[in-house]
Amino acid sequence: MERIKIMSLIEHYKDDISTIFSIVPFEVREFKPGLYPGNFNIPACRDEKEVQSLEVGASEYLLAVAGRKEAQRIVTPSYIIAESVVKDFFDGQLWTTPEEKPGLCWIQGKISVEKFVVLYKEIYARIKDQQRKWFVRLCKQTDNEWKKQHNYRVVSDQARFASYYLGLDSEWLHTEDLGTRFNKCPACNVANDPQNVVCTGCSALLTPELFAAGTKEEKFRVLRFAKQA
């Protein structure tokens, strides 16, 4: 079977550059299946004053056309790629809004971090403000979920970053201490305040008999729910 050699068109678009800037405190990673190049990674920004950046060039994908042996090469400009990376990253984060989202933006052209900070200071200030608002929202939403469930599963890595950034000492940051500060429900394993008489997760009555039960059969025998009491 004859192998078809397809040459890349990207070499003809070397001057097509856009730049993504990030003050996000964790790594930005996006993958675009079918595009070449399709991997886009930006290191974590540990300090807002040390902005991270990624230069993005044109990408291409192959499109099969009926009646032709060779696939058609479609080039996607850098600004579309940069916009897609930023938008898709936003879409993948918790509790974002148009004004509350990670500190990420893109600008068409090959722009250094130094130039960005000085010449695009309004954009720089805006992404800092948006990210801070997002961090506040993350912490508030996590607080609400934590009060309902007292379960470590409601605490995301993004919420931890947000709490550290804002200088908060949120209760849910210390989920590793749950075993000593909370009673785990024998029925659903949700952590409960020692003063709770009803589980916040499954509404089981937290009776001494339930905690003393050893096997599943014993637990089912003594298990009662608040709505049945």
Q: Is residue 224 part of a domain?
A: yes
**Domain residues for 45?**
12-131
Could you tell me if 81 and 20 lie in one domain? yes
Could you tell me if 122 and 186 lie in one domain? no
Our count of domains for the chain comes to 2
Question: What is the radius of gyration, based on Cα positions, of the chain?
Answer: 26
pLDDT, averaged per 10 consecutive residues of the chain (229 residues), comes to 55 88 95 93 94 96 82 90 97 96 98 97 98 97 91 88 90 65 74 77 79 73 68
Looking at 89, 109, 131, the residue that finishes a domain is 131
The alpha carbon dihedral of 75, 107, 52, 161 has a sign of negative
89, 102 Cβ separation under 8 angstroms:
yes
The label of the residue with tokens 């993005």 reads 56
Q: Which helix (H) or strand (E) holds 21?
A: strand 17-22
**CA–CA dist 124, 166 (Å, integer):** 19
Could you tell me if 127 and 189 lie in one domain? no
User: How many Cα atoms are found within 13 Å in the side-chain-facing hemisphere of 228?
Assistant: 8
Q: Is residue 152 part of a domain?
A: no
Report the side by side order of strands in the sheet with 52-57.
Answer: 52-57, 17-22, 104-108
74, 65 Cβ separation under 8 angstroms:
no
Predicted pLDDT at 229: 42
Q: Is residue 104 part of a domain?
A: yes
Helix (H, G, I), strand (E, B) or coil at 20: strand
89, 30 Cβ separation under 8 angstroms:
yes
Predicted pLDDT at 25: 93
Predicted pLDDT at 69: 78
Q: How would you write 130-174 as a 3-class SS string?
A: HHHHHHHHHHHHHHHHHHHHCCHHHCCHHHHHHHHHHCCCCHHHH
DSSP assignment of 167-209, as one string? Answer: T---GGGGGGGHHHHSEEPTTT--EE-TT-SB-TTT-BB--HH
Q: Is residue 228 part of a domain?
A: yes
Predicted pLDDT at 187: 75
Which structure tokens are listed for 219? 């637990």
DSSP assignment of 44-90, as one string? Answer: --SSTTS-EEEEEE-EEEEE--TT-SSPEEEEE-HHHHHHHHHHHHH
Could you tell me if 209 and 107 lie in one domain? no
Q: Is residue 166 part of a domain?
A: no
